[in-house]
Chain A
Amino acid sequence: MKSHRLILPALLALAIGAGSARAAGELNLFGWSEYIPQSVLDGFTKETGIKVNFETYASNEELLSKLVAGGGSYDLVQPSDYAAEVMIRQNLLSPLDPRLLPNLKNIAPEFRHRPHDPAGRYTVPYMSGTVGIVVNTEKVKTPVHSYSDVFTPAFKDRIVVLNDTREIVTWALYTLKLPINTINAESLAQARPVVANWVKLVKVFDSDSPKTALLNGDVDVGVVWSGEAAILWKENKKFQYFIPTEGAHQFIDVLAIPANAKNKEAAHKLIDYILRPEVSVLISEAFPYTNPNQAARKLLTPEQLANPASYPPGSPKLETFRDIGKAAADVDRLVTDLKSAR
């Protein structure tokens, strides 16, 4: 998800615009760049004859601003959990018809009815991931299982973290045992000294490709997207992934139908097609996130299942983000201030 944020695709998507003409049997899909294999869409078209017009975005913010502005008419979108929550609240999504989605039964129960869509009326999980610790075990011999293990003077200038102010503040709140989705002046005041110490230790802030600094050997530990960690692990088993013991951010990217969609029937068909185990497994092969489709998981190779970044062992404490509204500005100011002060 966020790891795919690149400036170029975003600009391209903006430049191309959204106003393509639609005939019957066409579907306008607006999804993350590098998240849906083309083979899946080709298979769908071959089977149903429905042509898929695929446009991509690089951030939830881009998707939101497009839908909020009423630009484009899309039949299927792919927001992350908190963005879906905002869209539901703003009546931007159309309720799903469960009768058209027989394969919905394949989704593991723990991925349904999450806070962003408690009734499960609007969204179907697509892929999920976490933000956790990745360690180069060749360089680091001590156990690093928690945020406080990462942010120690021993790792000064050997750390990469996401360049994302909300993420950084969330980790601090976890170590303080404070709620991560209720952010106020008081909790920020407590988080402040923690974050202040941390940013001094970090060598690289990178949301787009945090794996680069690890692969290049410029840093030894990181707090990164699980997708990035999974790719690192596939590259070299020395990169181990751990869900921080204090708790971790889990994101669930979902499929949803905008309220103004013109071809809801085709959208339901594509959702159900993606829910098929043999299709879902193609996505897992291309993008090693956590697949919420339990039927598809049975088709994965042992190697794929053993990837700790895709399928972390144990039952860690995971929470999704809720929209924090205007508190986001305070979070942003806090981290900017502390980074600036180093």
Chain B
Amino acid sequence: MSPAAKAGAALPGLIDRRTPRWRAWLLLLPMVTWLVLFVVAPTAILLVYSFCERDEVGRVLFTFTLDNYRRVFDPVYLWIFARSIYYAGLTTVICIVAGYPVAYCIGRAREEWRQRLLLLVMVPFWTSFLIRTYAWITILKQEGLLNGFLRLFSPGTAGLDLLYTPTAVVIGLVYAYLPFMILPIYGSVEKLDGALIEAAYDLGAGPLRVFSSVIIPLTLPGVAAGTLLVFVPAVGMFAITDLMGGARVPLIGNVIQNQFMQARDWPFGAALGAVFMGLFAATYWVMLRLGAQEEDSVA
């Protein structure tokens, strides 16, 4: 028997143990490919661009500069960041307040009703986002449906001046993102064990206290997921500020869009985007850490 064959004979145990690992990687391949193509590569391009310069035509020159980041921390843009966070925060809070009862009712509804009610939440998605936004313009404009309706009850009033105001922007944002709050909360409400609610009643909690000390804490994960799903895209939204807000108050999404479309300053746009992304990564990380610490303190 040759040495090689001997080695081969001695190895089967090892090889057997290793093959599944290779297969596991093979199974992961589609996901890894997806991640590389749609997450890693775009992020890498964004980061590289953010350190580049533009030439007069708007071409990206592959030099190294920190100027774009210096510009991001210009108070002008910092204020816009802050305002975007405020708008998105307000939107998120309204979505929680408006979406929670809806999600709760659907989640506690009878089985056969649940699917139908959920469908209603999704129906708006069957129409294009732009069309739905224009529908809101038709409702909110001065000679629109809302004011026409109000005049039915008190003729001669001037009506509300809503369109092209910050209020309209928040209405549009809440409308656009409400389903993303309802669905995850619904998920956690549906999973809620009815026995826990009964146990709380049994232990002397009235309906309000059952809600505040059992239902709310137990559906908090859904609220957290909804918050993430609403807050993050709401910060970057630009179409609604343009269409319903009359582009009067620029949010960070508008500034970034502007760099790519009008100002032809891709590197600066990329730097804004990178900071934006870093901000969320940091927030997310901090939230995770806080969650982990709580778990640790318990154990």
Does B43 sit within 8 A of A, measured CB to CB?
Answer: no
A225 to chain B, nearest CB (A): 15
Q: Does B242 contact A59, Cβ atoms closer than 8 Å?
A: no
Q: Report how far A208 CA is from B243 CA in the complex, Å.
A: 10
Q: Are A340 and B141 in contact, CB atoms less than 8 angstroms apart?
A: no
A205 to B247, alpha carbons, bound, how many Å? Answer: 5
Q: How far is the CA of A218 from the CA of B259 in the complex (A)?
A: 29
Binary per-residue interface labels of chain A (85-118) against chain B in the complex, 1 for a CB within 8 Å, 0 otherwise: 0100010000000000000000000000000000
Q: Which residues from B are CB-within-8-Å of A164? A: 262
Q: Is the CB of A340 within 8 A of B76?
A: yes
Q: Kindly state whether residue A246 has any CB partner on chain B within 8 Å.
A: no
CB distance from B159 to the nearest CB of A (A): 11
A336 CA / B257 CA spacing, docked (Å): 12
Contacts of A180 in B (CB 8 A): none
- Tell me which of A61, A165, A332 contacts B58 (CB under 8 A): A61
The one of B79, B247, B265 that contacts A332, using a Cβ cutoff of 8 Å: B265
Output the least CB separation between A141 and chain B (Å).
19
Cβ of A332: which chain B residues have Cβ within 8 Å of it?
258-259, 262-263, 265
A176 CB–B CB distance under 8 Å: no
B186 at the interface (CB under 8 A from A): no
- Residue contact B76 to A333, C-beta cutoff 8 Å: yes
Across the interface, do B74 and A217 meet the contact criterion of CB distance under 8 Å?
A: no
Count residues on chain A whose CB falls below 8 Å from chain B CBs: 39
| Inter-chain contact A206/B249, CB cutoff 8 Å | no
Pick from A203, A328, A340: contact of B246, CB below 8 A: A203
Chain B residues whose CB sits within 8 angstroms of the CB of A326 once the complex forms: 54, 56
Give CA–CA (A325, B57) in the complex, Å.
7
A65 to B54 Cα, complex, angstroms: 12
Q: Contact: B242 with A163, CB < 8 Å?
A: yes
Q: Which partner residue on chain B sits nearest A92 by CB separation?
A: B57
Bound CA span A336–B263, Å: 12
| CB atoms of A218 and B142 under 8 A apart | yes
- Asked whether, in the complex, the Cβ of A329 is within 8 Å of the Cβ of B242, the reply is no
* Ranked 10 nearest A-B pairs via Cβ: A204-B246, A205-B247, A325-B56, A337-B76, A216-B141, A163-B247, A332-B263, A217-B143, A204-B164, A218-B142
Residues on A lying within 8 angstroms of B by beta carbon are 7-8, 59, 61, 64-65, 68-69, 86, 90, 157, 160, 163-165, 199, 202-206, 208, 212-213, 216-218, 323, 325-326, 328-329, 332-333, 336-337, 339-340, 342
Q: Which residues of B contact A (CB under 8 A)?
A: 54, 56-59, 71, 74, 76-77, 79-80, 83, 130, 137, 141-144, 161, 163-164, 239, 242, 246-250, 255, 258-259, 261-265, 268
